[in-house]
Amino acid sequence: MPFEKRVPIRGKAEDRRRTEPDLKVATVDQNADSTVAAVWEGRRCRGVQTVWHTRENAKREKALRKVARKQKRSGRPVKGERSNAGLWRYISGLDTALAWQIAAAILAWAVAAGVQVLVFEYLRPYRPLRGLSWSRRVNRKRSYWLRGRVLERVRHLALCQGILTVERNPAWTSQACPRCSHLGERFSPGERAYPSGFRCGHCGWTGDANVVAVLNLKRKWNRTFRYPTAEEKRAAEPSRRRKAGAAASREGSPETVGANARSADAPAA
């Protein structure tokens, strides 16, 4: 049933950053079998929420394996005829439902936490991996497509609630250490084969690999949208120095101390 709703929007992130430097931000990272979101208050992380969809991912792969098996048995596909129509309908239904479920879970949580901006990763076109079976390859692709569909639904749902959606470049967000920005490595805690842990060889920070991306994504938000950015601070510096004259050298020191404290200030997650 189509409906209309008037939503007051107070402007884009770019317009609001000067007047509201402390917008309540939540960062969201989408993986193949989980979606992780973190809510922030200034520079502190106030909570992490994970939506698991491991089971749905496995279900999709199982259905795709069935498609492959049936196709193999029946030989060459008939031209102009859709094979395994029922199975494909099941798969696309699964994806549609899952996209809505994830989007709704994120939104419900964001509204409850009073979030004003949702920061997502900018999704690049999918690059297929070599050396996988057909069903695995297709499953990977579809789970990647799912991220785009979740993002689209979140954008609409968020707009209805007056929440902004922003996308940032995801480069290095899952490899860099959230504390010192050096490249870290994944490891598997205990005997589990899947490398779900993250360790930094430089400063020794360890944590959940899924959380690393949301912590780093917040820094990307800060760098562009948190007023004043490091660049704006630098631009403001010479004029102050000119005005202050001799006091410039004294004024320079707290600034550098502040900058150091800022870079060392890691989320206590």
211 makes contact with Zn ion (CB under 5 A) = no
Which single residue is written with the structure tokens 């779900």? 196
CB atoms < 10 A from the CB of 118, how many? 24
- Please identify which residue in 40, 120, 198, 205 interacts with Zn ion, judged by CB under 5 A: 205
219 makes contact with Zn ion (CB under 5 A) = no
In this complex, which beta carbon is closest to Zn ion, that of residue 110 or of residue 176? 176
203 makes contact with Zn ion (CB under 5 A) = yes
- Min CB(269)–Zn ion separation in Å: 13
Residues 6+ apart with CB under 8 A from 268: 44, 45
Residue list 35-74, contact with Zn ion (CB under 5 A): none
- Min CB(198)–Zn ion separation in Å: 10
The angle formed by the CA atoms of residues 151, 217 and 105, to the nearest 5 degrees, is 40
Report the residue count for the chain: 269
Interface with Zn ion (CB under 5 A), residue total 7
Residue list 158-187, contact with Zn ion (CB under 5 A): 177, 179-180
89 makes contact with Zn ion (CB under 5 A) = no
226 makes contact with Zn ion (CB under 5 A) = no
Which residue type sits at 99? A
In this complex, which beta carbon is closest to Zn ion, that of residue 203 or of residue 248? 203
In this complex, which beta carbon is closest to Zn ion, that of residue 150 or of residue 177? 177
- Min CB(163)–Zn ion separation in Å: 32
- Min CB(207)–Zn ion separation in Å: 10
Residues 6+ apart with CB under 8 A from 119: 25, 26, 27, 28, 166, 167, 168, 217, 218, 220, 221
Rg of the chain over CA atoms, in angstroms?
23
The two structure tokens encoding residue 166: 């922003």
Secondary structure class of 193 (helix, strand, coil): coil
Name which of 169, 71, 160 is nearest 108 in CA terms. 160
- Min CB(182)–Zn ion separation in Å: 5
- Min CB(80)–Zn ion separation in Å: 57
Percent of residues in the chain assigned helix, strand, coil, to nearest 5: 50, 15, 35
Q: Are 198 and 209 in contact (CB under 8 A)?
A: yes
Residue list 105-144, contact with Zn ion (CB under 5 A): none
Which of these ranges, 15-23, 134-142, 199-207, 255-263, lies near Zn ion under the rule CB under 5 A? 199-207
266 makes contact with Zn ion (CB under 5 A) = no
- Min CB(179)–Zn ion separation in Å: 5
- Min CB(176)–Zn ion separation in Å: 8
In this complex, which beta carbon is closest to Zn ion, that of residue 166 or of residue 176? 176
Question: In this structure, what is the dihedral angle of CA atoms 172, 174, 177, 180, given to the nearest 10 degrees?
Answer: 40
Name the site residues for Zn ion (rule: CB under 5 A).
177, 179-180, 200, 202-203, 205
